[in-house]
Structure formats: C-alpha cells, structure tokens
Amino acid sequence: MSEVGAERVKPYSEDGSKKEQVAQMFDNISVRYDLLNHLLSLNIDKLWRSKAVRLLRPYQPKAILDVATGTADFAIELRKLQPESIIGVDISAGMLEVGKQKIKKRTLDNLIRLELGDAENMPFPDDTFDAITVAFGVRNFENLKNGLKEIRRVLKPNYAVAVLEFSKPASFPWKQVYNFYFRFILPSIGKLVSKDSRAYTYLPESVNAFPEGQEFMDILKEVGYQNIRQYRLTFGIATIYLAEK
C-alpha cells in the first residue's frame, strides 16, 4: 500500500487529524505501554534496538536525536554509543512523562533530554545531529514524506538515520503465525491490559498499510537519502532501514 494509504489509517474516527489521534492514543496507554510492549513482543524488541545501535556505531555519533521516542527505550539504549547528548522528541506528553521517570531512575538526566515535539516540524537548526533514530514511529506520521524530509533536514551530511519498523513475514509458516497473532491475540491482550479498545487494533492496521521494504526504500530515496540499506529481523517481523544524508 502507498504512503497515502498509511496516512489514512487513524486510531479512532475519521474526525480529527491523525497526529491528534495518535497523541491521544499514546496518552491513553502510556502507563501500561512498557508492560504491554515487552509482553507482546516477548522482549525481542530489545534485540532489534541493539542491532540498530550496532549499525550506527561506525558513525561515532556525538549528538543523537530519537524521534517518536515514546517512553525513551531507544534513547536509553543509544547511550551505548557513548554520545555527548541524546534528545528524544514525541507528541505524547503521557509517554514522555513515563520516559522521564525512567531516565531519572537511571540517573541519565545529564545525557538524555526529552521534549514534546512534532516530528514533521522540529525546532532544531539544519545539520544538527550525527545520528537520528525512529523506532516504530514513522507509520504514525501524518505525512510520511514530510516527516522523513524533516529528519533529513536536521541530520548532518554523511551521517545516518536508522528507522526500525514492523514489517510482514512473507514465508510459510511465519506469515500465517504472524497474521493470526496480529489479528486475534495482540488486540485481545492489548484491549484487556490497556483499556483502550482501539490502540492495539490500530497497530496491525497501521502495519498492514505501511509501505515496507523496497517501497519504503524508494520513498527514502525520493526525499533525498542515499546509501539506503535494509536489514530484515526475526523472519521479517521487523526491519531496520539505514540511510545517509
């Protein structure tokens, strides 16, 4: 499906912008988000983030931006690159509050700063960051190309963005197992634990609508990135896209 199709998928109703609804959804589930995230992914998401960090290591980034940082899991993982500063931005105040508590608990306040912000309109000068990461966030952008252009704007030339996003397994039996899990198991557990009936129904809908693989790589190229690579993870359940400015 095209990026336009992905942009039409919203958490709630047709009324209101996707951006507003995504912020509301994550505010609603923020308290239970970490519990559900690790439960539903069987903690495999931690391995995926570690892989993304390893891919960024050759760039030796000193200033890092984590877009759609949520509860700051990726921002905290990025400290392994020994940067001088990490900034996380997200449109959900509820998610950021949980993230700030985690950072404070780990005494990482001097390294990681979280800010409320829109990925499609960030308050940073051009060519600011040595590395930018986005984990499970680009499919929530209201306008995918605008968000990717904005990320490229604040990235320094010859440095990289790492996008970690869900994808869809293509081979038997993982395709069938994945589809059953995403259609029936995940929404049921998500609804029970988060108390938001739509949040974990929106997840598989947004993943299904997202332009993955070569289609997403073509979009990255169209908005100006180069040296674009993809790394399929865990039978194709997720993919890391690495692209340079």
Would you give the end-to-end CA distance of the chain in angstroms?
26
Query: Across residues 159-185, what is the average pLDDT?
Result: 92
Phi-psi group of 215: left, alpha or beta (phi > 0 → left; psi -120 to 50 → alpha; rest → beta)? alpha
pLDDT level of residue 5 (50, 70, 90 thresholds): low
Q: What is the pLDDT of residue 1?
A: 45
Expressed as residue numbers, the domain containing 84 is 3-244
Strand 63-67 versus strand 129-135 pairing type: parallel
Is 198's pLDDT higher than 50?
A: yes
User: Which residues, at least 6 apart from 192, have a Cβ–Cβ distance to it below 8 Å?
Assistant: none
- Does residue 47 contact residue 135 with C-beta atoms inside 8 Å? no
Domain count, the chain: 1
pTM: 0.93
How many of the other CB atoms lie within 10 Å of CB of 5? 12
> pLDDT per residue over 15-54, tens digit each?
779 999 999 999 999 999 998 887 777 889 999 999 999 9
Q: What pLDDT does residue 3 have? A: 53
pLDDT, mean of residues 174-196: 86
The pLDDT of residue 14: 67
CATH for 234: 3.40.50.150
Distance CA 36, CA 38 (A): 6
Strand partners, 112: 86
What's phi and psi for 104, nearest 5 deg?
-65, -40
